[in-house]
Each structure stands twice: as structure tokens, then as C-alpha cells.
Amino acid sequence: MNSLNDFHTQHHAVMGVYNNITVPSAYHAPEVEYKAVRENVLLVDYSHMSIVSVLGDDAWILVNYLASADISIIRDEQGIYTLLLNEDGTILGDAYVLCSSDGYYIMSENLSADQLLASLNKLLEKADELDIQETPEFKDMRDESWGAILLEGPYAWELMAEIYGYDVIGLPYHEFMTTDQELLVFRCGKHGEFAYMATGNEEQLLALWQQLNERGSKYCLRTGGLDYQKIVRIENPCWDENLWSGYALNPVELQMQWAVQYDKEGFIGQDAVQALSQGENARKMIGMIAKEPCSGIESGDKVMIKGQPVGQVVNAVFSPALQCFIALTLLESDYGWSDIDGFDIQTQTETLAARTKSMPFVYNLSMLVNPAEHSFVDASKAKSAL
């Protein structure tokens, strides 16, 4: 068996399509996978992640113009998170960019390899303007049988160290190491937990998946699918086109300007997003929490103050950690402040008292776990600072 997909099918995973790729949606009930990622370790096939290599002496010029972040600041075995913008300053997608000795890997959960390649080829049309002397070489790494898996949770570092040693524990956020099997192990994560993404040849990833499963039982590891993101990506908001379906949003509205390097020489959408950042009437994405039990909150529900609409719910979910409904809302800028009472959410069936909430909504257990002091399996150490 050489295929992760064959393995998942044999083990009765529920499959779904993400970023045009078929990967597991779920292995277990949602509450099981949620508990694993928040309290222990969750193992997920991340092969929906498109991976495009951009190689050559002038690769950085092209990648830097594509990305909102400043790619020139990263060196070998370092990565950076970036947005990719449309010319009007709205968000096209997001990506990690990893720097290798030969060039860069662009990795995106929501943009396909074809989309990334099309964007890169379009930029080549202005090679003279960008002063590109040597045309970079592009490749969809899926053609090289590459995929990705993600190990995530408060004790992901400890399980990964059983296989790769203490070098993994010492990896700074957004840096990677290359294993003897030529896998790239990248410390990353969007949900507030320790997370390590392994990318490379699918046969080697399948072998690693099986190793992690064999060693993971003492950590209460669970295999999972991407549906767990439906909760954790509202508890710990990040860019995900599924969260913002139907909305054309920009980094200013989503309060993601930290991912935009405004003063670098140039990037797609730079003029537009600079103008948006200086506007006075922008909506703001603000967290909101129901102050009373309710039957549900849905996208499109109105946010009111004293009977007047001041915004709307974009997405909402019941948070197992907080035991209440939480919502991502777009509010008029005058009302876009955290930890303020006096709001109501008008649902289809009731009017709920609500208050704005600073984000992330939850204080992750990973914030209370120090690899130098804690352990899930060593009885002589505390499991966390709690």
C-alpha cells in the first residue's frame, strides 16, 4: 500500500474534497477529534495543501511580489505566513512560503497548484519591470508524488520528538528541518496549538503516519479529518475561505494587517490595500459571544444596538471549550471594539443579549505546556502549568 488515500479508505475514513483534493473529512465523531486537538494530539492528512516549488536565482523576486509578506527576510529552513491579494486589495488566499537552498516552496490550503502557477506565470509577463534576469522554474510537487500530514495538539512536540529527537522540540515557529527520509518537518499551526506539518514523498508520509499511530496511543492520539477546523477556526480565527463564504474581504476588515508588509517595494494589491488601511469607514471583524443559552446563531443574523443594526454575523459555532455559541461578526467601525456589552443578535427565532470578545476566544492548553518542564507520558513531570 503506497497511497495515503488507499490507507484512509481501508480504515473507513469519511472522505471529502478540499482544495480540489480528496482527503479525510473525519475518522471519528466531531467531539472526539476536537478533544484530541485541544487536549492531546490529532493526526490529519493535509494533502489538500498545494505545494509549488519556485527555483532559481531570481525566484525570490517573483515570490516576493506575489506575497503580501516580506519574503526577503527569511533564510534557508525558515518559513513565513503570507496573504495573496487581488488587485483590489481583497484576499485571494493565504500560504506558507518556505525558503530552501534552491528557492522556495509555496504551500496553500485554499489555492490550488494550478491557481498558484497561473499567478506566477502572469507575473512573468512583467519580468522586465520586476528586473527578473533568469526565469525561475516552477513545479507542482504533486507531480513528484508529494503530500502532507499534520500532527497538532498540546503534546504534538513530544510525540514527534520520539521519532526525530530533540531537534524537533527546538524548532522555532515557522522553521523546518529535513529528515533522513527527505521529508520537510515544518513547525506551524493556525489554531493556537503545537503543530508540525510533514511534507514530501507520499510513501514516506504513509510510513510516518503509521509510526505516529503506533507510538501515539499513550498520548491518546486520534486520527482525524479536516472537519475539525469548523470549530477550531472560529475559536482561533484565521483566513479560511469557508469561514467567509459569500464575502469579499480585505486584511483591514479582518484585522490581518500584521500579514501585510506595506513598506516593501511592491506586491499585488499594494496600492489598493494601502488605501483601504487609511479609510475611516471600514467594517471590522469582531468576536461576539452569546450571554445566554440559545438554540443557535447563523450567518446573516443581524447585530443590533438599541434596535438599530450595526453589523451582521458572518459565521458562528457552539464552542465545546466555552460551552456557549460564539460568532465572528462584521461590525461598523464605530462599534468594532472588544469586551463591550449592550449588543443583541437577532436570530430567526429570538433576540440574544451578546457582548464583543477579544480573540482568540479560547486560551489554548498549548500555551500552558512547556516542553522543558512538562510531559504527557513522564509521570515525574506535570502535564502542564495548570
Q: Which three cell numbers stand for residue 115?
A: 491557481
Q: Indicate if 225 and 297 belong to the same structural domain.
A: no
DSSP string, 56-91: STTHHHHHHHH-SS-GGG--TTEEEEEEEE-TTS-E
**232-242 per-position pLDDT tens digit:** 999 999 999 99
Residue 20: is it exposed, middle or buried by C-beta count within 10 angstroms (0-12/13-18/19+)?
A: exposed
**141-198 per-position pLDDT tens digit:** 999 999 999 999 999 999 999 999 999 999 999 999 999 999 999 999 999 999 999 9
Asked if residue 189 belongs to a domain, the reply is: yes
Report the domain count for the chain. 2
Residue 126: is it exposed, middle or buried by C-beta count within 10 angstroms (0-12/13-18/19+)?
A: exposed
What is the phi/psi pair of residue 60, to 5°? Answer: -65, -30
Q: Indicate if 223 and 270 belong to the same structural domain.
A: yes
Q: Indicate if 297 and 273 belong to the same structural domain.
A: no
Beta strands 42-45 and 50-55: pairing type? Answer: unpaired
Asked if residue 211 lies in contact with residue 162, where contact means CB atoms within 8 angstroms, the answer is no
**99-130 per-position pLDDT tens digit:** 999 999 999 999 999 999 999 999 999 999 99
Q: Which three cell numbers stand for residue 295?
A: 438554540
Q: Indicate if 99 and 29 belong to the same structural domain.
A: yes
Asked if residue 142 lies in contact with residue 51, where contact means CB atoms within 8 angstroms, the answer is yes
Which of 234, 263, 279 is the C-terminal boundary of a domain?
Answer: 279
Q: Indicate if 266 and 290 belong to the same structural domain.
A: no
Which SS3 state, helix, strand or coil, does residue 370 take?
coil
Q: Indicate if 304 and 347 belong to the same structural domain.
A: yes
Asked if residue 340 belongs to a domain, the reply is: yes
Asked if residue 382 belongs to a domain, the reply is: no
Asked if residue 377 belongs to a domain, the reply is: no
Q: Indicate if 31 and 108 belong to the same structural domain.
A: yes
Average pLDDT estimate for 286-294: 93
Q: Quick one: pLDDT at residue 229?
A: 97
Q: Indicate if 273 and 343 belong to the same structural domain.
A: no
Percent of the chain at pLDDT above 70? 99
CA distances 115 to 58, 141, 213, 306, Å, are 21, 14, 34, 45
C-alpha 366/C-alpha 316 separation (Å) is 24
Q: Indicate if 178 and 114 belong to the same structural domain.
A: yes
Asked if residue 106 lies in contact with residue 116, where contact means CB atoms within 8 angstroms, the answer is yes
In this prediction, residue 246 has a pLDDT band, given cuts at 50, 70 and 90, of confident
Q: Indicate if 113 and 251 belong to the same structural domain.
A: yes
Q: Quick one: pLDDT at residue 163?
A: 97
Q: Indicate if 341 and 221 belong to the same structural domain.
A: no
Query: Phi-psi region for residue 145, left (φ > 0), alpha (ψ -120 to 50) or beta?
Result: left
How wide is the angle at C-alpha 94 spanned by C-alphas 126 and 194, nearest 5°?
140
Q: Indicate if 169 and 226 belong to the same structural domain.
A: yes
Which SS3 state, helix, strand or coil, does residue 212 take?
helix
**28-65 per-position pLDDT tens digit:** 999 999 999 999 999 999 999 999 999 999 999 999 99
Indicate which CATH number applies to the domain containing 307: 2.40.30.110
Indicate which CATH number applies to the domain containing 88: 3.30.1360.120
Q: Quick one: pLDDT at residue 1?
A: 52
Q: Which residue has the higher pLDDT, 279 or 18?
A: 18
Asked if residue 85 lies in contact with residue 171, where contact means CB atoms within 8 angstroms, the answer is no
Range of the domain at 155: 1-279
Residues near 37 by Cβ (< 8 Å), separated by ≥ 6?
152, 153, 191, 193, 224, 228, 232
For residues 135-160, one letter each, b for 16 or more C-beta atoms within 10 angstroms of the residue's C-beta and e for the rest, the string is ebebbbbbeeebbbbbbbbbbbbbbb
Asked if residue 365 belongs to a domain, the reply is: yes
Average pLDDT estimate for 313-330: 96
In this prediction, residue 245 has a pLDDT band, given cuts at 50, 70 and 90, of confident
